[in-house]
C-alpha cells in the first residue's frame, strides 16, 4: 500500500530559466485588464461569484452568462478553461450520476455549481502578484509581519522545490529508496525520515537566513512606510458596482426574473 | 577620526556548545577598509553579525566586553536603528533574497527607512544603475546567477546608505569573473570613502583593494580547534588498489526544461587522475557530475573500459550542500548508514585523516559548515564506489589547512587507482589537479593538463573566466 | 502605526518558519505525486510536516497558521482540482483540526498520539470537502471509490503522516536540531 | 488524564465524525433515491400531492376531464377565468378525514419561488372560487376571488406541487 515512486520531476515540470518554477498551473496574465484592478476588488468579485452557487438554475444560468462575459473581457478564458479542464472527469461523472439518478435539471445545476466553484478564483490569482497579495492582506488589516512571511514563502517556493529534488538525489545516492512494498515497513519509515529530516533542517536554515537578512535591512522598524499603497480606482468602483448590482438583482430580483 | 566600529575585549559564546569568538579587540576608523582573516569554523561570521547587531539581538548567548558602533553600544540600541548605520551582505546570495523581483528586493530595505516614495524611487534607480542591474529589474531574484544575486545583495545594502558595510564571505560562492566584478564595485566604494569590514577566505581577490588592512583572529578568535595535521605514517591509507580503467564520454548532451545545459561533450579520463571541472556559474559543472553519477538523464555515451570489458560508470557523488544528507544522531551512524559490512579500517583512516575523530559521537547537524562538509565526504568515500568519487565545490568555505587535508584525502584515492572529478571555481585547488575540463556556454572549451591550458591565453576569455596571476603556482610557465 | 496586540504572539522567526513549512507542504504536495490515486494519499507528508511545525513552534495556533498560509499559497498557485475556495478551506481545516486535536493529545513525539492527531487533522480536510459537496448538493457519496473508503483513506494516511511526523521529531531531537533552534530568538 | 483515556476519547471522536458523515450521507442517499423513484413515476405535467410530508398522489392532467368546469370573472381586469376547483381536485385524491376545516393546503410553484397558503375551510367555501386555470403553456395557475389572491401578482403560476398538512 505504501508504495511510493519518486519521479525525477513531476510530469508538467519545466524550468524556463534557473530556479523559476513553472509546475504550478497558475500563471500571471499580464495582458488582462484586471491587472489594473485593486486586489481587494478582485477578491470581493471572486467571493461574490462563489455565493452565486445558491441561485436556482435559470438565475445561475444568467449569472454564468455575465461571468463568462467578465472573464472574456478580462482575457482569462484560457485560464478558467484550464481549471475546468482539470476538473473535467469529476464534472462529467457528477453530470452522469445526477442525470441517471434524478434528471437533467439537477444534473445541469450541480455541474454548473461545481464548475463555478472550480473556476471562480482564477480571476484573482491569475492577475495578482505575490507582492500585491501581500499589500491586499495588509490593507485587510493583517499585520505586516504575517503578510511579509507569506510573500517570503511564495518567493522561496522554487528554492524549496530544488532542495526537495536535491535531497531525493542525495539520499538515493546512499541507497535510500522508498517503495519496496510492505515487507520492510519499518525500514521504509526510516527512509521517509531520511527525506523529512533534511527537508525540515534546510527549511529552518532558510527561515533563519531570511530572518537575519530581513533584520539586517531594518525589518520591524517603527518608521516603515510602504512604497506602494492600494487605492480603489474608477475601474474598481465600476467593477464592484456592476457585479454587486448584478448579484443583488439575481438574489432579490423577485418576480422580474425567471 | 570617528571610529565606525570598536571592540574592547569582546567575546561571544553560543549556549549550545560554548563556542563562539573572542575575546577580540579592534578599532575600525570611519572611511577605512578592514579584512578579517582566520581559520574556518572560527568566528568571522560571528563578528560580522556582532558588528551589525544581529548578535546579541537575534541570538541567545553570552556577550562580554564592549562593542561600539559609531560610539554607541550595540547591545543597547534597537536592531532597526543599528541596521540604519551598518549594512550586511551574507555569504550565500540565494538565501538572503526575500521577495519576488529585483526591484522589490531593493525597495524592501528602503521602505523600512521610512523614506518618501519619491526618495525610494531615486535610490532604487541609483542602486540599479550603480551595480548594472537595470536589465534585470523585473526578474525574480532566484532566477539570477550567483554573481548577479550577490550584486543584488550589495545593491540592497548600499541603497540604504549605511555608514559601515559588513561583508561576510561575499566571494565564496562566486566564480572568478563574478568575484572580480564584485571586488571592482568594492574598490569604487572604498574610493568614495565607504567604511568596509570584509570577512573572506579568498583573500587573493582582495589584493587590489588599496589600503585594505588585515586583522587576524588566530589568537583567541577561533574557539573551535582546527583538525590536526594528518599523521604522515597513515598517508598510505588502507584502500585496496583498483583495476586500471578509463572513462569515455562521447556526444554527451544533457537538458533541463528543454534547454541544453551540456552540449556534445567529448573527453576521456584515466583511472588515478584528479580532474577539476572549471567554468562560470551556470555552465553545467554540476549537471556533468550528476550525469556521471547517473542522476541526470543525458544523451550520448558514458562508458568505463577495463580489462574486464565495458561497464556503466559507478561513482559516489558528494553534494555541495551537506545538509541534504545528514540526518543521523551521530557522525559514526551517519558515515556507516546502511553499510552491511563496513570496512572499519578505512572508516578509522577517514575519521582520523579528515579530523572527525573527536566528533564521532556528536550529531552531525551541530558541527560547523566545514566539518559537515567533511562528514558528507566521508559518507561518500565509505561506500567505496568502484570507479571513484565526484565532488561538487568541495573547497567551499574551507581555509588553506582544510583544503590541504582535502587534497591529501583525494590523492589517497587516486593513488589507489580511482578517478576523482571535482567541480570547482577555486582556481588554486584546480591548479593542483592532473587534468582540467573547462566548460563554456557552448560546451567543452578545452581539456588538458593545467600547465598546458595555462599557456593558451585566448582560452580563458572564451570560457568567460578571469585568470589572475596568483591562481597558478607554476608561474614560470605562464606566457607573459 | 499601531499594531494589534496579537501580532506579537509569534516571533518573526517563528512566523517565517511557519510560512516556510507551509511552502514545504505545498511543494511536497505537488512534487511528491505518488502513483497511488487513493483518496488522501498526499496526507502522509502533509501531516508529518504539519505535526513537526507544531513542535518546532510550540505555541497554540501554530498548525492553524500553517493551514491558512499553505491554503492561501496553494490557492494562489492553482493547486487542487476543485478550485481555490475548496483548496483554501481544506488546507485550513487540516491546521485547525490539528490544533483542536492537540488540545486533547498534546505530545507529538508519542507515536499513538501523533497518529491520532494526524488522523483527526486529516479527517478535518475530508469534512470540508464533504461539506462543500453537501452545500453544492453534489452526491459526494457516489464519487470515485465510495464514501466509506474515502474516509478510511483519509484516516489511514493521516495516521501514517502522524507516525512519520513523530519519527521525524524523534530523529530531529537525536540529531541536535532543537539545540540548534534554541540559540535563535 | 491518562494517555489511554486521551487516546480512547480521540478514537471515539474520530469514529463519531466518520459515523456522522456516513449516516448523513446514507440519509441523503435514501432521500435522493426516494425522490428520484417518486419523481420517476410521474408523467410529464403531473403535480405531486404531499400529505404530511409523504407523497400520496399525483394530479394527472388527464384527470381533469373527470371534473366539472367552473368559472368566474376576476374584478381587476374583468377577464373570465375558467378551470377546475381545487375543492374537486383534492377530494379526488385525499381521504375525507384529511380534509378538516383547518387543514393547511399549500400550492407551490418551485420554478417561480411562489406559493399560496390556504385552509380547507377557504377552499371548501365555493364562493371563494379557489381553482386552477389551464394556462396557454399547459401548466396550471391557481386563481381565486379571495382577497389575498385577487390580483395576477398573487396567483401561483406554473403550479408543480401541493402540500397538505392536517393539524
DSSP B75-136: GGS-HHHHHHHEEEE-S-TGGG--SSSHHHHHHHHHHTTT--HHHHHHHHHHHHHHTT-GGG
Give the pLDDT score at C139. Answer: 54
As a whole number, the mean pLDDT across chain B is 84
The burial of B186, by beta-carbon neighbours within 10 Å (0-12 exposed, 13-18 middle, 19 or more buried), is given as buried
Assigned domain for A13 exists: no
Residue of A nearest to D154 (CA): A255
Give the pLDDT score at B476. Answer: 43
| CA B31 to chain CA centroid, nearest Å | 28
Q: How far is C184 from chain B (nearest CA, A)?
A: 5
The answer to whether the beta carbons of residues B386 and B271 sit under 8 Å apart is: no
Q: Do C185 and B15 touch (CB under 8 A)?
A: no
* Closest in A56, A102, A255 to D32, CB measured: A102
DSSP calls for D96-146? GGG--TT-EEEEEETTTTEEEEEEHHHHH-GGG--EEEE-TTS-EEEE-SS
Task: Sort out which chain C residues have CB atoms less than 8 A from A157's CB and list them.
Answer: 23, 26-27, 73, 77
**Residue A93 Cα distances to A110, C36, C39, C140, angstroms:** 11, 20, 16, 11
- Give the integer Cα–Cα distance in Å for C147 and D17: 13
Report the DSSP beta bridge partners of residue B276.
B422, B436
Top residue of B51, B112, B389 to mutate, by most chain A CBs within 10 Å, is B112
What DSSP character marks residue B71? T
Angle at CA of residue A177, ends A175 and A178, nearest 5°: 150
Task: Sort out which chain B residues have CB atoms less than 8 A from C176's CB and list them.
Answer: 362-363, 365-366
Q: Do C31 and A118 touch (CB under 8 A)?
A: no
CATH number of B3-220: 3.40.50.300
* Closest in A130, A166, A209 to B95, CB measured: A209
Which partners does chain C have (≥3 C-beta pairs < 8 Å)?
A: A, B, D
Give the pLDDT score at B127. Answer: 92
The answer to whether the beta carbons of residues D156 and D109 sit under 8 Å apart is: yes
* Closest in C20, C78, C139 to A207, CB measured: C20
- Give the integer Cα–Cα distance in Å for C51 and C120: 12
pLDDT tens string A92-116: 877 887 777 667 777 788 788 878 8
Q: How far is C104 from chain A (nearest CA, A)?
A: 26
Same domain, A166 and A124: no
Q: How far is D111 from chain C (nearest CA, A)?
A: 18
Q: Do C141 and D6 touch (CB under 8 A)?
A: no
* Closest in D39, D111, D112 to A103, CB measured: D39
Residue of D nearest to C114 (CA): D7
Give the pLDDT score at C144. Answer: 41
Nearest CA to A188 out of A179, A175, A196 is that of A179
Interior/surface letters B40-50, b for 16+ CB within 10 angstroms, e for the rest: bbbbbbbbbbb
A69 touches chain B (CB under 8 A): no
Interior/surface letters D11-23, b for 16+ CB within 10 angstroms, e for the rest: eebbeebbeebee
A14 touches chain D (CB under 8 A): no
- Give the integer Cα–Cα distance in Å for A56 and D113: 9
Which residues, including other chains, have CB under 8 Å from residue D30's CB and lie 6 or more apart?
none
Same domain, A74 and A159: no
Q: Which residues 105-124 of C are in CB contact (within 8 Å) with A?
A: none
- Mean pLDDT calculated for residue range B26-55: 83
Nearest CA to A119 out of A25, A215, A206 is that of A25
Q: Which residues 242-261 of B are in CB contact (within 8 Å) with A?
A: 256-259
Q: What 3-state DSSP class applies to C87?
A: helix
Q: Do B59 and C177 touch (CB under 8 A)?
A: no
**Residue B380 Cα distances to A162, B303, B318, B417, B433, angstroms:** 21, 21, 6, 17, 20
A113 touches chain C (CB under 8 A): yes
Q: What are phi and psi of D165, to 5 degrees?
A: -130, 125
Residue with cell 591565453: B457
- Give the integer Cα–Cα distance in Å for A201 and A194: 11
Give the pLDDT score at A156. Answer: 87
* Closest in D36, D112, D114 to A101, CB measured: D36
Q: For chain D, how many helices (H) and strands (E)? A: 3, 9
What DSSP character marks residue A121? T
Give the pLDDT score at A201. Answer: 92
Helix axes A130-139, C62-77, angle to 10 degrees: 130
B61 touches chain C (CB under 8 A): yes
As a whole number, the mean pLDDT across chain D is 80
The answer to whether the beta carbons of residues D17 and C116 sit under 8 Å apart is: no
Pairing status of strand B309-311 against strand B298-306: antiparallel
Q: How far is A118 from chain D (nearest CA, A)?
A: 23
Same domain, A25 and A101: yes
- Give the integer Cα–Cα distance in Å for D57 and D50: 7
pLDDT tens string D99-108: 888 888 999 8
Q: Is residue B104 scored above 50 in pLDDT?
A: yes
Residues of D with CB under 8 A from a CB of A: 32-33, 35-36, 39, 111-114, 153
- Give the integer Cα–Cα distance in Å for B273 and B419: 5
Angle at CA of residue D158, ends D152 and D163, nearest 5°: 105
- Mean pLDDT calculated for residue range A163-170: 85
pLDDT tens string D56-102: 777 776 777 778 888 888 777 777 788 888 888 888 888 888 888 88
Q: How far is B227 from chain C (nearest CA, A)?
A: 22
Which grid coordinates belong to B469? 596571476
Which residues, including other chains, have CB under 8 Å from residue D61's CB and lie 6 or more apart?
D43, D45, D46, D138
Region of residue C3 (left: phi > 0; alpha: psi -120 to 50; beta: else): beta
We find that the CATH architecture of domain D47-165 is: Alpha-Beta Complex (3.90)
Q: What are phi and psi of D46, to 5 degrees?
A: -70, 150
Nearest CA to A132 out of B301, B38, B99, B96 is that of B99
Q: Do C155 and D7 touch (CB under 8 A)?
A: no
* Closest in D6, D17, D29 to C123, CB measured: D17
pTM (predicted TM-score): 0.77
| Cβ neighbours around B142 below 10 Å, total | 19
Q: What 3-state DSSP class applies to D60?
A: coil
B324 touches chain A (CB under 8 A): yes
What DSSP character marks residue D4? H
Q: What 3-state DSSP class applies to A207?
A: helix
Cis check for the bond before B56: say yes or no (omega within 30 of 0). yes
Which grid coordinates belong to D92? 379526488
Sign of CA dihedral A46, C77, C89, C37: positive
Assigned domain for A89 exists: yes
Residue spans of the domains in chain C: they are 12-30+38-184
- Give the integer Cα–Cα distance in Å for B422 and B428: 13
Q: Is residue C65 scored above 90 in pLDDT?
A: yes
Nearest CA to D163 out of D96, D112, D101, D98 is that of D98
Q: How far is A157 from chain B (nearest CA, A)?
A: 10
| CA A185 to chain CA centroid, nearest Å | 35
pLDDT tens string B189-204: 888 889 999 988 777 7
What DSSP character marks residue C25? H
Q: Do C113 and D7 touch (CB under 8 A)?
A: yes
- Give the integer Cα–Cα distance in Å for B43 and B221: 6
Residue with cell 508504495: A3
Q: Do A114 and C167 touch (CB under 8 A)?
A: no
Give the pLDDT score at A26. Answer: 55
Residue with cell 591548479: B431
pLDDT tens string A22-55: 334 456 787 888 888 898 898 888 888 877 777 7
Q: Is residue B105 scored above 90 in pLDDT?
A: yes
| Cβ neighbours around B179 below 10 Å, total | 26
Give the pLDDT score at A13. Answer: 33
The answer to whether the beta carbons of residues B440 and B434 sit under 8 Å apart is: no
A103 touches chain D (CB under 8 A): yes
Pairing status of strand D47-51 against strand D54-59: antiparallel
Q: Do A213 and B107 touch (CB under 8 A)?
A: no
The total number of residues shown for chain A amounts to: 258
Task: Sort out which chain A residues have CB atoms less than 8 A from B49's CB and list them.
Answer: 212
Task: Give the DSSP H/E element, type plus range, for residue C54.
Answer: helix C43-56
**CATH class for the region spanning C12-30+38-184:** mainly alpha
Laid out side by side, the sheet with D131-134 consists of D70-74, D79-85, D131-134, D140-143
- Give the integer Cα–Cα distance in Å for B473 and A6: 46
pLDDT tens string B371-412: 888 999 999 999 888 899 999 988 887 777 888 888 988 998
What DSSP character marks residue B59? B
Angle at CA of residue B118, ends B112 and B122, nearest 5°: 85
* Closest in A19, A209, A223 to B143, CB measured: A19
Task: Give the DSSP H/E element, type plus range, for residue B176.
Answer: helix B176-191
The answer to whether the beta carbons of residues B69 and B252 sit under 8 Å apart is: no
Which grid coordinates belong to A171? 539520499
| CA D6 to chain CA centroid, nearest Å | 50
- Mean pLDDT calculated for residue range C96-104: 94
Q: Do D10 and C147 touch (CB under 8 A)?
A: no
Q: Which residues 96-115 of A are in CB contact (within 8 Å) with B?
A: none
- Give the integer Cα–Cα distance in Å for A224 and A216: 14
Q: Do B60 and C171 touch (CB under 8 A)?
A: no
Touch of A by D (3+ CB pairs closer than 8 Å): yes
Q: Which residues in chain B are classed under CATH 3.40.50.300?
A: 3-220, 243-314+385-471
Give the pLDDT score at B1. Answer: 63
Angle at CA of residue B194, ends B193 and B200, nearest 5°: 130
The number of folded domains in chain A is 2
What is the extent of the structural domain holding A180?
142-216
| ipTM score over 0.85, yes or no | no
Top residue of B365, B368, B371, B372 to mutate, by most chain C CBs within 10 Å, is B365
Helix axes A104-119, A77-86, angle to 10 degrees: 120
Residue spans of the domains in chain D: they are 3-35, 47-165
Residue pairs between chains A and C whose CB atoms are closer than 8 Å: 210
Task: Sort out which chain C residues have CB atoms less than 8 A from A222's CB and list them.
Answer: 1
Task: Sort out which chain C residues have CB atoms less than 8 A from A214's CB and list them.
Answer: 12, 16
Residue with cell 522554487: A158
Give the pLDDT score at A18. Answer: 32
A157 touches chain D (CB under 8 A): no
Q: Is residue B278 scored above 60 in pLDDT?
A: yes
**Could you say which of 3.40.50.300, 2.60.120.560, 3.40.50.1370, 3.40.710.10 is the CATH number of the domain covering B243-314+385-471?**
3.40.50.300
Which residues, including other chains, have CB under 8 Å from residue B462's CB and lie 6 or more apart?
B440, B445
Nearest CA to D158 out of D144, D135, D139 is that of D139
Amino acid at each position: 500500500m505504501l508504495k511510493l515512486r519518486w519521479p525525477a520531476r513531476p510530469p508538467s515540470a519545466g524550468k524556463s530559466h534557473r530556479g523559476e518554477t513553472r509546475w504550478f498551473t497558475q500563471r500571471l496574465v499580464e495582458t488582462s485588464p484586471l491587472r489594473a484592478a485593486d486586489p481587494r476588488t478582485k477578491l470581493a468579485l471572486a467571493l461574490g461569484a462563489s455565493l452565486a452557487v445558491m441561485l436556482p438554475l435559470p438565475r445561475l444560468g444568467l449569472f454564468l452568462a455575465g461571468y463568462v462575459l467578465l472573464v472574456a473581457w478580462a482575457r482569462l478564458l484560457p485560464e478558467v478553461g484550464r481549471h475546468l479542464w482539470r476538473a473535467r472527469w469529476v464534472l462529467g461523472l457528477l453530470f452522469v450520476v445526477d442525470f441517471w439518478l434524478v434528471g437533467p435539471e439537477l444534473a445541469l445545476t450541480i455541474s454548473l455549481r461545481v464548475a463555478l466553484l472550480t473556476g471562480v478564483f482564477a480571476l484573482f490569482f491569475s492577475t495578482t502578484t505575490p507582492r500585491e497579495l501581500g499589500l491586499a492582506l495588509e490593507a485587510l488589516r493583517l499585520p505586516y509581519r504575517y503578510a511579509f512571511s507569506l510573500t517570503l514563502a511564495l518567493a522561496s517556493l522554487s528554492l524549496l522545490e530544488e532542495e526537495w529534488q536535491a535531497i531525493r538525489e542525495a539520499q538515493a545516492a546512499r541507497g535510500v529508496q522508498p517503495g519496496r512494498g510492505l515487507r520492510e515497513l519499518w525500514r521504509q519509515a526510516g527512509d521517509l525520515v531520511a527525506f523529512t529530516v533534511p527537508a525540515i533542517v534546510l527549511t529552518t536554515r532558510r527561515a533563519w537566513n531570511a530572518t537575519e537578512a530581513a533584520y539586517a535591512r531594518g525589518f520591524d522598524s517603527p518608521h516603515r512606510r510602504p512604497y506602494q499603497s492600494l487605492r480603489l480606482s474608477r475601474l474598481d468602483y465600476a467593477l464592484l458596482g456592476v457585479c454587486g448590482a448584478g448579484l443583488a438583482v439575481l438574489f432579490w430580483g423577485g418576480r422580474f426574473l425567471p | 577620526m570617528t571610529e565606525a566600529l570598536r571592540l574592547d575585549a569582546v567575546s561571544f559564546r553560543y549556549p549550545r556548545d560554548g563556542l563562539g569568538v573572542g575575546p577580540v579587540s579592534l578599532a575600525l576608523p570611519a572611511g577605512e577598509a578592514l579584512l578579517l582573516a582566520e581559520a574556518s569554523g572560527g568566528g568571522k561570521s560571528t563578528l560580522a553579525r556582532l558588528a551589525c547587531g544581529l548578535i546579541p539581538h537575534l541570538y541567545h548567548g553570552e556577550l562580554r566586553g564592549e562593542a561600539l558602533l559609531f560610539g554607541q553600544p550595540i547591545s543597547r540600541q534597537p536592531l532597526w536603528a543599528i541596521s540604519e548605520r551598518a549594512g550586511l551582505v551574507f555569504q550565500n546570495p540565494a538565501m538572503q533574497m526575500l521577495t519576488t523581483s529585483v526591484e522589490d528586493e531593493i525597495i524592501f530595505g528602503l521602505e523600512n527607512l521610512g523614506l518618501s516614495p519619491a526618495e525610494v524611487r531615486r535610490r532604487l534607480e541609483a542602486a540599479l544603475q550603480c551595480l548594472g542591474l537595470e536589465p534585470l529589474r523585473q526578474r525574480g531574484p532566484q532566477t539570477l546567477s550567483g554573481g548577479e544575486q550577490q550584486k543584488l545583495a550589495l545593491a540592497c545594502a548600499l541603497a540604504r546608505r549605511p555608514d559601515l558595510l559588513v561583508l561576510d564571505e561575499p566571494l565564496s560562492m562566486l566564480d572568478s569573473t563574478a568575484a572580480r566584478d564584485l571586488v571592482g564595485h568594492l574598490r569604487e566604494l572604498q574610493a568614495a570613502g565607504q567604511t568596509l569590514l570584509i570577512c573572506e577566505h579568498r583573500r587573493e581577490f582582495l589584493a587590489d583593494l588599496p589600503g585594505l588592512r588585515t586583522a587576524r583572529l588566530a589568537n583567541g578568535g577561533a574557539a573551535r580547534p582546527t583538525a590536526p595535521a594528518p599523521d604522515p605514517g597513515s598517508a598510505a591509507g588502507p584502500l585496496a588498489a583498483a583495476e586500471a580503467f578509463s572513462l569515455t564520454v562521447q556526444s554527451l548532451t544533457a537538458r533541463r526544461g528543454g534547454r541544453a545545459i551540456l552540449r556534445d561533450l567529448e573527453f576521456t579520463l584515466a583511472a588515478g587522475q584528479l580532474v577539476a571541472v572549471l567554468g562560470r556559474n551556470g555552465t553545467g559543472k554540476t549537471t556533468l557530475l550528476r550525469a556521471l553519477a547517473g542522476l541526470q538523464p543525458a544523451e550520448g555515451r558514458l562508458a568505463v573500459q577495463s580489462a574486464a570489458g565495458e561497464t556503466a560508470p559507478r561513482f559516489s557523488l558528494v553534494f555541495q550542500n551537506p545538509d541534504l544528507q545528514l540526518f543521523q544522531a551521530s557522525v559514526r551512524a551517519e558515515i556507516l548508514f546502511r553499510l552491511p559490512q563496513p570496512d572499519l579500517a578505512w572508516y578509522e583512516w577517514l575519521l582520523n585523516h579528515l579530523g572527525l575523530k573527536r566528533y564521532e559521537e556528536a550529531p552531525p547537524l551541530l558541527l560547523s559548515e566545514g566539518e559537515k562538509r567533511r562528514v558528507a565526504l566521508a559518507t561518500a568515500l565509505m561506500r567505496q564506489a568502484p570507479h571513484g568519487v565526484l565532488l561538487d565545490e568541495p573547497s567551499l568555505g574551507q581555509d588553506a589547512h582544510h583544503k590541504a587535508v582535502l587534497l591529501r584525502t583525494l590523492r589517497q584515492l587516486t593513488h589507489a587507482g580511482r578517478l576523482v572529478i571535482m567541480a570547482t571555481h577555486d582556481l588554486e585547488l584546480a591548479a593542483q589537479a592532473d587534468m582540467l575540463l573547462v566548460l563554456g556556454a557552448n560546451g567543452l572549451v578545452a581539456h588538458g593538463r593545467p600547465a598546458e591550458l595555462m599557456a593558451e591565453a585566448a582560452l580563458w576569455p572564451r570560457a568567460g573566466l578571469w585568470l589572475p596571476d596568483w591562481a597558478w603556482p607554476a608561474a614560470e610557465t605562464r606566457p607573459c | 502605526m499601531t499594531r494589534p496586540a496579537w501580532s506579537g504572539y509569534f516571533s518573526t522567526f517563528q512566523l517565517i518558519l511557519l510560512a516556510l513549512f507551509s511552502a514545504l507542504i505545498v511543494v511536497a504536495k505537488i512534487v511528491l505525486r505518488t502513483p497511488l490515486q487513493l483518496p488522501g494519499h498526499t496526507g502522509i507528508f502533509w501531516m508529518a510536516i504539519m505535526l513537526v511545525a507544531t513542535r518546532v513552534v510550540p505555541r497554540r495556533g501554530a498548525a492553524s497558521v500553517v493551514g491558512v498560509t499553505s491554503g492561501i499559497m496553494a490557492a494562489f498557485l492553482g493547486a487542487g482540482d476543485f478550485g481555490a475556495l475548496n483548496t483554501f478551506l481544506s488546507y485550513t481545516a487540516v491546521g485547525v483540526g490539528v490544533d483542536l486535536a492537540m488540545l486533547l493529545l498534546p505530545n507529538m513525539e508519542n507515536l499513538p498520539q501523533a497518529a491520532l492527531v494526524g488522523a483527526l487533522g486529516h479527517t478535518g480536510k475530508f469534512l470540508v470537502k464533504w461539506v462543500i459537496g453537501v452545500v453544492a448538493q453534489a452526491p459526494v457519496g457516489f464519487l470515485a471509490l465510495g464514501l466509506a473508503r474515502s474516509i478510511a483513506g483519509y484516516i489511514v494516511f493521516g495516521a501514517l503522516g502522524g507516525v512519520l511526523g513523530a519519527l521525524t521529531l524523534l530523529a530531529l531531537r537525536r540529531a541536535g536540531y532543537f539545540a540548534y533552534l534554541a540559540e535563535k530568538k | 488524564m491518562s494517555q489511554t483515556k486521551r487516546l480512547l476519547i480521540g478514537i471515539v471522536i474520530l469514529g463519531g465524525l466518520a459515523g456522522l458523515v456516513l449516516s448523513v450521507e446514507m440519509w441523503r442517499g435514501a432521500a435522493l433515491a426516494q425522490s428520484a423513484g417518486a419523481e420517476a413515476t410521474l408523467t410529464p405535467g403531473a403535480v405531486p400531492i404531499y400529505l404530511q410530508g409523504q407523497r400520496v398522489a399525483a394530479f394527472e392532467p388527464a384527470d381533469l376531464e373527470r371534473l366539472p368546469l367552473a368559472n368566474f370573472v376576476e374584478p381587476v381586469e374583468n377577464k373570465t377565468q375558467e378551470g377546475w376547483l381545487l375543492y374537486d381536485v383534492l377530494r379526488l385524491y385525499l381521504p375525507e378525514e384529511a380534509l378538516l376545516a383547518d387543514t393547511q393546503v399549500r400550492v407551490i410553484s418551485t420554478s417561480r419561488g411562489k406559493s399560496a397558503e390556504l385552509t380547507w375551510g377557504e377552499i371548501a367555501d365555493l364562493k371563494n372560487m379557489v381553482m386552477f386555470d389551464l394556462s396557454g403553456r399547459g401548466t396550471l395557475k391557481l386563481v381565486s376571488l379571495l382577497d389575498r389572491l385577487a390580483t395576477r401578482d398573487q396567483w401561483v403560476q406554473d403550479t408543480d406541487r401541493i402540500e397538505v398538512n392536517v393539524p
